Chains A and B, each alone.
Chain A
Amino acid sequence: MDSYEIVVIGGGPAGLAAAIEARKNGVENILVIERDKELGGILQQCIHNGFGLHVFKEELTGPQYSERFIKELKKMGIEYKLDTMVLHIDEDRNIEAINTKDGLIQIKTEAIVLAMGCRERPRGAITIPGTRPAGIFTAGTAQRFINMEGYQVGKKVVILGSGDIGLIMARRMTLEGAKVEAVVELMPYSGGLTRNIVQCLDDFDIPLLLSHTIVDIKGRDRLEGVVVAKVDENRRPIPGSEVEYECDTLLLSVGLIPENELSNEANIEIDPITNGPIVNESMETSVSGIFACGNVVHVHDLVDNVTRESRKAGKCAAKFVKDELKEDSHTVRTIPGEGVRYIVPQEIRVENVDEDITLFMRVTDIFKDAKLVLENGDKTIKEIKKIQFAPGEMEEIKINASELKDGEIGDLKVSIQKGGK
């Protein structure tokens, strides 16, 4: 039985930042467990740029961004195990992991930071009818094949879903010599960042078909075509609007799901909206001493936010180990109101907020000329006005500790209201 003060599960951007921050806050005995053969996580295959504007004030590619953290982690001498998969965890913070070198490993730790990231929704999750040929990939799988393994996955491509990965892959496949016929999006708006629509689709004249979906898949052994149809306001295909696109490849970018099989094993309470653990101000889950950060908690669109959140998780895990977190503090909940889909963290133990706390949230729909309003009872604490709020872009509201500790504060509600700029 090995023992550590903190074990971080996952060596991607979340896990790296959490481990480094825990060390900076005085914890010596830390282990990072990574299932891939190197650290860095999914960023190693995200070779496009656009990472790091907040954290490093410069624009980096995914590998560049992760390399900064990997270097720092190694410099600090934090222990890590590669090619190692965690099989089980429990509420008492016992971990069972496995690799080829050490075999089955039993670990006891004072705190765990969950940083397993997320996975892509496959075809079955959205039940696209048709045949089941080769040539249908989730966008991330295609990204790995192309960017890391060096294989091309197809020549004529249709992409379903206009989230950032779908948009980025449209450009990548085009640059690598494929023809992207169209990006098909069920919703009337794109789920990705506007800049990606400009530089990944518009630059290459790739059509974005909003309010469309794929209703049939053709081809026996390899994909031969997809049938695209318009959808009505209830997202149901409109009969008669079908158009067939000849293609040998379909990329699916239809959403990400936090990977919480381990969290479930430890009986950690999961938020049905985020599909991630319910966390408090310290990024601690419902199980004491088990923290979580990054895409395992909720799917982010900017890695910079993952870093911020994970630093907090690392710092608070360190506090937990040193017994500096107050368990019996006055606790308030964050309540998503009208137009807000979820808020992370879901709970705030007021006394543990040092200087300020940032609430991350997503809106439910496109709202033009609106404002995000944070209220405590009838009292408005904060307002953020914008020309447009979109579900694809995570919003945040920062609250100063003084505002929380001002008298006996109740639950905090955030909602979208009319009247922006």
Chain B
Amino acid sequence: MKKIEIIIRPSKLEDVKQQLSAIGIHGMNYTEIRGFGRQRGHTEVYRGSTYEVDCLPKIKLDIVIHDEALDKVLAAVTSSARTGNIGDGKIFIYDVLDAMRIRTGERGNAAL
């Protein structure tokens, strides 16, 4: 099992969700986060004073999948989240030891 952590633009959340549903991923969690990387922040002006805001809003999706599904998922995410500009986000992939569905006690892939 793999856990993938996907950081994307907030405007791309719906596209990514739709693409993942289309390839059979029916569960995920997402969090609204703030952060910065290579993409520069933006400028805000209040009464003539200019402030540089460097932390931008992003969405972080967490999904746990079967090992075989990984390439399909990566392809779906990159095709739906990419704009080609700096700030499209990153994907981190982790190995998962085990999983368990609380209701039934199922373990491993069956719990996903």
A and B form one complex: no
